[in-house]
Amino acid sequence: MKIDLADVIVTSPDRNFVTLKLTTSDGHVGLGDATVNGRELAVVSYLSDHVVPLLIGSDPMRIEDTWQFLYRSAYWRRGPITMAAIAAVDMALWDIKGKAAGMPVYQLLGGASRTGLLAYGHASGKELPELLDSVQEHIELGYRAIRIQSGVPNLKSIYGIASQGADHGDAELRYDHEPARRGEKPVEEDWDTRAYLTHLPGIFEAVRGEFGATLPLLHDAHHRLTPIQAARLGKDLEPYDLFWLEDCTPAENQEALRLVRQHTTTPLAIGEVFNTVWDFKDLIRDQLIDYVRGAVTHMGGITALKKTLEYAAMYQVKSGMHGPTDISPVGMAAAMHLGLAIHNFGIQEYMPHGARTDQVFQQTFTWREGLLHPGDELGLGVSLNVDEAGRYPYERAYLPYNRLADGTVHDW
Ligand code: KDG
Ligand code: MG
């Protein structure tokens, strides 16, 4: 069997997605997700100009060898664009291997370690009543774990608040499901760490007061704090028993987490913007985190994230794979197959994709009683309707960015 065709497909049904489609000489099709939100065309070029010519004629069964070849032969290693491109190839090859073997991918990875994947959804509100309603809605939707994001007094617009979609002129779009805005320039938002740190503990107190002590609650600080601010937040949230505090500091400085860890027992999750095991290595070895947020799409594929999670398992660190809507249905399927198979699964982030996206990508996963399951179709279980994809050409879109009151650019 040889790889005959490699197509890079860009489609923008509800948002931009980059998908690699490999077709083999005996007719198997494999799909891989290569979406990097706001930088999609860079991955398109990396794949089309540099990777596709290397794949044509090669053996699709050699997943590990292809990964090592693409990673090492480029000489220039790591980075979000390179690793998303490698991830797409890797996913597509697992998809093909599953179809050729007559098995869903999770069977190739060792088989199911559980009946389904605990998933968390996003509750949010500009004000407390909107947030409490949103938590209730998520409970009714079947979520057994819920992320809590709240507006902050005097800040117009911040990451993670669903109803801000309407403020940005698109009532159909939940802002937390799609913070990237179509347009020529990124939207500017505002930030005030002091106001946030003062406000948030009261929000968690109110949520616990309304919904009780047992519901697992999560929160995303989205890289905006210094280590000592993050340490204070972790301590202040201890009475509310969080499942995790996510991305409390910018992810580049691994050492920052040591300071946070020394001060708080609030569990820590990090790594949605990480690309390789090297970004996680010290954090895992020194047990500075509890959950690995890496996505299959951004960590170089199933092959690489599986190894990272096996290393994490030695330190009782669990998976918490990134699953916003900018991970395509193909990337989500890969996450579900991997999460079902590994022993140290923790939780899966899950936001449903929009209706147009579901027309472009036919999915076979199930969502029952708060648990996801990738289904038992061969391979990853996702197919792509190329004609439907063609109806939605790429549209330039950027993630927002933050400025402080004095105009300084701040982490978003
Ligand atoms: O593209 C950026 C989003 O994926 C990110 O902002 C979402 O932080 C996020 C999360 O935890 O889902
Ligand atoms: Mg996050």
Of the ranges 49-53, 108-112, 252-256, 402-406, which one carries the lowest mean pLDDT score?
A: 252-256
Question: Considering 106, 120, 159, 196, which one is annotated as catalytic?
Answer: 159
pLDDT of residue 167: 67
121 lines ligand 1 (CB under 6 A): no
pLDDT more than 70, % of the chain: 98
157 lines ligand 1 (CB under 6 A): no
* C-alpha of residue 103 to centroid of ligand 2, in Å: 32
Residues with beta carbon < 5 A to ion ligand 2?
220, 272
373 lines ligand 1 (CB under 6 A): no
Does position 174 have pLDDT exceeding 90, yes or no? no
pLDDT of residue 169: 63
Ligand 1 nearest atom to the CA of residue 323, by list position: 12
* C-alpha of residue 51 to centroid of ligand 2, in Å: 29
pLDDT of residue 178: 84
Residue nearest ligand 1's atom 1 by CA:
37
pLDDT of residue 293: 98
**pLDDT bracket for residue 170 (50, 70, 90):** low
Does position 168 have pLDDT exceeding 70, yes or no? no
Residue nearest ligand 1's atom 4 by CA:
324
Find the ligand nearest to 270 CA. 2
Q: Which of 174, 220, 351 to mutate to test the pocket of ligand 1 (most atoms within 8 A of CB)?
A: 220
Residues 110-156 pLDDT 10s: 999 999 999 999 999 999 999 999 999 999 999 999 999 999 999 99
Active-site residue flag, 159? yes
Residues 262-273 pLDDT 10s: 999 999 999 999
* C-alpha of residue 23 to centroid of ligand 2, in Å: 34
Ligand 1 nearest atom to the CA of residue 147, by list position: 11
Does position 251 have pLDDT exceeding 90, yes or no? no
Q: Which two tokens stand for residue 109?
A: 């990875």
Question: Considering 138, 177, 219, 222, which one is annotated as catalytic?
Answer: 222
60 lines ligand 1 (CB under 6 A): no
Residues 176-218 pLDDT 10s: 888 998 999 999 999 999 999 999 999 999 999 999 999 999 9
pLDDT of residue 164: 87
Residues 67-89 pLDDT 10s: 999 999 999 999 999 999 999 99
Average pLDDT estimate for 219-235: 98
80 lines ligand 1 (CB under 6 A): no
Residues 7-43 pLDDT 10s: 999 999 999 999 999 999 999 999 999 999 999 999 9
**pLDDT bracket for residue 166 (50, 70, 90):** low
324 lines ligand 1 (CB under 6 A): yes
Of the ranges 157-171, 291-305, 397-411, which one carries the lowest mean pLDDT score?
A: 157-171
pLDDT of residue 175: 85
Does position 319 have pLDDT exceeding 90, yes or no? yes
**pLDDT bracket for residue 171 (50, 70, 90):** low
